[in-house]
């Protein structure tokens, strides 16, 4: 059974349909990407799964329990790190625990354990402004994980980073995910990123946005460092590109 299931979700704004009949399944420990153009309704879908807004039709299920329109169950992370500038990194990442009612000291103790695993050792007492963009996203991911160990939604989390930082954070991300096995729904418009990180990819195309294809990336994990340079990788990429072309999507929007 899927840990997160999205069933037939549709939503309109001002009479215009943004997403139509979207169904997604996420299994335990899986990283699944939702690949589509910017402004294609990905963020709308995200807000619905996070419980921040309600769909017109359809429902969201977590571990067999309906959570449609109920925040506080799945965590999410955005392109903006959203670390609060007046809290230290330790206090930022322990915030979800405190919000859930844990004592401040206890929350700090629990959060501190993960700093090494997330490559954040030494940043505990620093403020967000003192960290690089890549480090801030690491801290944001740890906060996301402490919020929910079950399912995380990542909305283009690395797209604001420069290429070099992005490359190294991809390696870091896969390493961390090997250890914590967090089931993740990953939104991106970057085809390479989707192939590199995911077990499966849903392609979201058209207006209103619909899921028109599902691709399974069979490459075993942990992935080799040169996976993006292999023939298999290019095959996946060709498959995605030709599908998007068939759907009349300008390639430049996606890359």
Partner 1 sequence: MKRKLPNITGKIWSCSAIVFVLIIWQIVSTIGLVDRFMLPSPIDVVQAFLGEFPTLMKHSVITLSEAFIGLGLGILLGFVMAVLMDAFDGLYKAFYPLMILTQTVPTVAIAPLLVLWFGYEMTPKVVLIVIVTFFPIAVGLLNGFKSIDHDEVHLLRAMGAGRMQIFCYIKFPSALSQFFAGLRISVSYAVVGAVISEWLGGFGGLGVYMTRVKQAFSFDKMFAVIFLISLISLVLMKGVDLLQKKCMPWEKENGL
Establish if 72 lies at the interface with partner 1 (CB under 8 A). yes
Long-range CB pairs of 126-130 (<8 Å, 24+ gap) are 126/88, 126/89, 127/85, 127/86, 127/87, 127/88, 127/89, 128/81, 128/83, 128/84, 128/85, 128/87, 128/89, 128/92, 129/85
Establish if 103 lies at the interface with partner 1 (CB under 8 A). no
Q: Which strand (E) or helix (H) includes residue 244? A: helix 231-246
Establish if 233 lies at the interface with partner 1 (CB under 8 A). no
d(CA 3, CA 190): 25
Site string for partner 1, 28-67 (x = CB under 8 A): -------------------x--xxx---------------
Establish if 206 lies at the interface with partner 1 (CB under 8 A). no
Stretch that binds partner 1, among 56-64, 79-87, 180-188, 213-221 (CB under 8 A): 79-87
Establish if 86 lies at the interface with partner 1 (CB under 8 A). yes
Stretch that binds partner 1, among 32-40, 72-80, 172-180, 232-240 (CB under 8 A): 72-80
Long-range CB pairs of 67-73 (<8 Å, 24+ gap) are 73/148, 73/151
Stretch that binds partner 1, among 83-91, 171-179, 187-195, 213-221 (CB under 8 A): 83-91
Residues that bind partner 1 (CB under 8 A): 47, 50-52, 71-76, 78, 80, 82, 84-88, 95-96, 99-100, 126-127, 129-130, 147
């Amino acid at each position: 059974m899927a840990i997160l299931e999205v069933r037939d979700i549709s939503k309109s704004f001002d009479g215009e349909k943004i997403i139509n009949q979207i169904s997604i399944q996420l299994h335990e420990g899986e990283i699944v990407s939702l690949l589509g153009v910017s402004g294609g309704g990905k963020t709308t879908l995200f807000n619905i799964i996070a419980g921040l807004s309600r769909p017109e039709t359809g429902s969201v299920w977590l571990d067999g329990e309906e959570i449609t329109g109920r925040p506080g169950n799945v965590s999410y992370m955005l392109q903006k790190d959203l670390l609060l500038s007046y809290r230290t990194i330790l206090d930022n990442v322990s915030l979800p625990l405190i919000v859930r009612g844990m004592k401040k000291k206890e929350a700090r103790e629990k959060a501190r354990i993960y700093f090494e695993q997330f490559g954040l050792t030494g940043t505990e007492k620093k403020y967000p402004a003192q960290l690089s963009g890549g480090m801030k996203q690491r801290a944001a991911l740890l906060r996301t994980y402490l919020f929910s160990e079950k399912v995380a939604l990542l909305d283009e989390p690395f797209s604001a980073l420069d290429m070099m930082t992005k490359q190294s954070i991809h390696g870091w991300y896969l390493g961390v995910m090997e250890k914590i096995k967090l089931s993740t729904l990953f939104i991106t418009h970057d085809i390479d990123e989707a192939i590199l990180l995911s077990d499966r990819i849903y392609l979201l195309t058209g207006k209103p946005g619909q899921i028109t294809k599902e691709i399974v990336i069979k490459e075993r994990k942990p992935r080799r460092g040169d996976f993006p340079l292999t023939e298999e990788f290019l095959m996946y990429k060709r498959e995605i590109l030709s599908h998007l072309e068939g759907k009349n999507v300008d390639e430049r929007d996606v890359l």
